[in-house]
C-alpha cells in the first residue's frame, strides 16, 4: 500500500516514514546524495534496505521527500518578518532566528547547502519560483523602511544574502569554525557579532 502513500497512513507507516526521513537527513547531510548509500540510510533507520524501498520508491524518492519536507520550515522565518514592526528589531530578529536554526538544525542546513552547491538540480524551480517571490515581497518591505528613513539605504537582497551567509556559515562550515575557535562556543560570539554588524549597517 505505501510506496510514497500520503493519505491514511497508519501509525506504523508514519513511524517508519519518519524514521527513514530522519535517517536520510543524517546520512545525506553528511555525504551528499551520491555519496550516501541506501545501506547507510537503512542502518541508520534501523531497518532493512528492501523495507526502506517498501516505503519509498527509490533512493531519490527519499531524498526528494526530505528536501520537500524541510523546505517549508526553511523558508518559514522569512515570512515572519512584520512590515509593521520596528525595522531594526525585525531584521535582527530574523537573523537571530536563522542563527538559532543553524545551531539547532545544522544537518538541515548542510543538506540544502549540498544541494545548492551542486546546482540545485532538484529545487531549482522552487528557488526561481516560490523563494524568489518571497524575497521580492520582503525586499519591498525593506525598501519601504529605507525610503521612510527608518533604516539606512541598503540593497535588500544583498542584505538578505548576508544574513543567510553569516548564519548558515556556522552550520555548513561547522568543522572549520570549530577548528579555529577550539573549545569556544561559536554561537555566543556569533550572535553578538551579527547584532553589531546589522546595527552598524542599519541604524541611521
Interface residue list for DNA (CB under 7 A)? 1-2, 10, 12-13, 16, 36-39, 47-51, 53-55, 57-60
161 touches its own copies (CB under 8 A): yes
User: From the list DNA, its own copies, none, which binds 177 (C-beta under 5 to 8 Å, kind-based)?
Assistant: its own copies
Binding region for its own copies (CB under 8 A) out of 19-27, 60-68, 69-77, 109-117: 109-117
Choice from 80, 104, 128, 140 touching its own copies (CB under 8 A) = 128
User: From the list its own copies, DNA, none, which binds 59 (C-beta under 5 to 8 Å, kind-based)?
Assistant: DNA
Q: In 3-state terms, the chain is what percent helix, strand and coil (to 5)?
A: 75, 0, 25
Site for its own copies in 13-52 (CB under 8 A): 30-35
Q: What is the DSSP letter of 85?
A: S
Closest C-alpha to 187, from 93, 105, 102: 102
Nearest CB to DNA, comparing residues 53 and 78: 53
User: From the list DNA, its own copies, none, which binds 170 (C-beta under 5 to 8 Å, kind-based)?
Assistant: its own copies
120 touches its own copies (CB under 8 A): yes
Q: Is 89 helix (H, G, I), strand (E, B) or coil?
A: helix
From residue 59, give the alpha-carbon distance in Å to each of 22, 70, 182. 14, 17, 37
Tell me how far apart the alpha carbons of residues 10 and 49 are, in angstroms, rounded to a whole number.
21
Contact 96, 194 (CB under 8 A): yes
Tell me how far apart the alpha carbons of residues 167 and 102 are, in angstroms, rounded to a whole number.
7
Burial class (CB in 10 A: 0-12, 13-18, 19+), 24: buried
Q: Which residues bind its own copies (CB under 8 A)?
A: 30-35, 110, 113-114, 116-120, 124, 127-128, 131-132, 135, 152, 154-155, 157-159, 161-162, 164-166, 168-170, 172-173, 175-177, 179-182, 189-190, 192-194, 196-197, 199-202
Amino acid at each position: 500500500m505505501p510506496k510514497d502513500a500520503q493519505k491514511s497512513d497508519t501509525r506504523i507507516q508514519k513511524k517508519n516514514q519518519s524514521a527513514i526521513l530522519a535517517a536520510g537527513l543524517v546520512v545525506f547531510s553528511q555525504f551528499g546524495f551520491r555519496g550516501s548509500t541506501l545501506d547507510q540510510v537503512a542502518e541508520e533507520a534501523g531497518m532493512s534496505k528492501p523495507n526502506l524501498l517498501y516505503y519509498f520508491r527509490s533512493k531519490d524518492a527519499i531524498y526528494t521527500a526530505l528536501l520537500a519536507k524541510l523546505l517549508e520550515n526553511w523558508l518559514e522565518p522569512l515570512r515572519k518578518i512584520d512590515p509593521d514592526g520596528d525595522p531594526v528589531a525585525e531584521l535582527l530578529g530574523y537573523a537571530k532566528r536563522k542563527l538559532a536554526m543553524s545551531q539547532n538544525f545544522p544537518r538541515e542546513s548542510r543538506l540544502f547547502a549540498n544541494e545548492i552547491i551542486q546546482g540545485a538540480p532538484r529545487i531549482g524551480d522552487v528557488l526561481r519560483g516560490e523563494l524568489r517571490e518571497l524575497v521580492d515581497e520582503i525586499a519591498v518591505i525593506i525598501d519601504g523602511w529605507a525610503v521612510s528613513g527608518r533604516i539606512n539605504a541598503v540593497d535588500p537582497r544583498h542584505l538578505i544574502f548576508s544574513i543567510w551567509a553569516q548564519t548558515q556559515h556556522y552550520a555548513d562550515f561547522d568543522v572549520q569554525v570549530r577548528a579555529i575557535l577550539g573549545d569556544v562556543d561559536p554561537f555566543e560570539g556569533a550572535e553578538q557579532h551579527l547584532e553589531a554588524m546589522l546595527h552598524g549597517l542599519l541604524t541611521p
